[in-house]
């Protein structure tokens, strides 16, 4: 029996949209995968039989694939750009998981962030945040948070946040307003470059996802 291909998928917002796309590309997980209460991290596939799925946090999807522990995965372009791994190849925009990476600050007392020379920003995207502000000649001190970003300004941890925004409702509920957009985000198929060169099973999977993406765009 050939070695199992490992396909990494993210927990959270992308997963529900990703599953139908994966099914159309021929990747069908075992029934247990659809149980939201199942806390397992590894799942078998009904099709193809030589694949397993791992369900991990989005940032970890990129790490597993970049280091070859998984050969393929699905993750947001925000994660791809944040880490910029040399061994990570993102050949297909899946056109799902749409949102944006934005700067937000308290609605009361807003100011033009780019007029300041130094800012403290709470975010789980320190690299993207620094690069964005550096392009405008602003030094950004990034406070790394993995969640609860919206309360950072109210507690005095940071004057602004950089986070994913979809409807903007969570920002409004926490007294914040979106002041700038860093990038638009969508989910990507990602592949380990070395695995692509050495495993003949990967290229047909890329082609299947690419065909779906092109059909959707047509």
For 26-62, the DSSP string reads T-EE-GGGG-TT---SEEEEEESTTEEEEEE-HHHHH
Q: How many CB atoms lie within 10 A of CB 197?
A: 9
Mean residue pLDDT across the chain: 91
pLDDT of residue 11: 87
Query: What is the pLDDT at residue 46?
Result: 94
pTM of the model: 0.90
Q: What angle do CA 123, 129, 134 make, to 5 degrees?
A: 150
Going along the chain from its start, the domains and CATH numbers come out as 5-97+186-217 (3.40.190.10), 99-184 (3.40.190.10)
Give pLDDT tens digits for 80-121.
999 989 999 999 999 999 999 999 999 876 555 545 567 899
What do you get for the CA distance between the two ends of the chain, in Å? 39
* 8 Å CB contact between 139 and 119: yes
The pLDDT profile of the chain, 218 residues, written as one tens digit per residue, is 469 999 999 988 889 999 999 999 999 999 888 777 788 899 999 999 999 999 999 999 999 999 999 999 999 999 999 998 999 999 999 999 999 999 999 987 655 554 556 789 999 999 999 999 999 899 999 999 998 999 999 999 999 999 999 999 999 999 999 999 999 999 999 999 999 999 999 999 999 999 999 988 77
Secondary structure (DSSP) of 88-122? EEEEEE---S-EEEEEEEESTT---GGG-SEEEEE
Give the pLDDT confidence score for residue 116 in this predicted structure: 58
Handedness of CA 197, 41, 27, 80 (dihedral sign): negative
In this prediction, residue 1 carries a pLDDT of 43
pLDDT (0 to 100) of residue 36? 73
Collapsing DSSP states into helix, strand and coil, what is residue 90? strand
């Amino acid at each position: 029996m050939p070695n199992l291909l490992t396909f990494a998928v993210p927990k959270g917002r992308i997963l529900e949209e990703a599953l139908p796309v994966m099914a159309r590309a021929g990747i069908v997980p075992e029934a247990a995968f659809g149980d939201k209460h199942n806390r397992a991290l590894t799942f078998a596939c009904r099709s193809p039989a030589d694949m397993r799925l791992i369900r991990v946090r989005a940032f970890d999807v990129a790490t597993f694939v970049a280091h070859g522990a998984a050969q393929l995965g699905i993750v947001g372009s925000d994660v791809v750009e944040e880490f910029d791994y040399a061994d990570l190849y993102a050949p297909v925009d899946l056109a799902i998981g749409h949102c944006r990476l934005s700067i937000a600050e308290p609605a009361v007392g807003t100011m033009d962030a780019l007029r300041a020379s130094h800012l403290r920003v709470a975010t789980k995207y320190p690299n993207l945040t620094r690069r964005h502000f550096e392009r405008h000649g602003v030094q950004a001190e990034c406070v790394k948070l993995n969640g609860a970003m919206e309360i950072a300004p109210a507690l005095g941890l940071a004057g602004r946040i950089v986070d994913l925004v979809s409807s903007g409702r969570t920002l409004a509920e926490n007294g914040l307003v979106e002041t700038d957009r860093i990038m638009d985000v969508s989910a990507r198929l990602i592949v380990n470059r070395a695995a692509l060169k050495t495993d003949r099973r990967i290229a047909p999977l890329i082609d299947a996802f690419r065909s779906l993406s092109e059909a959707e765009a047509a």
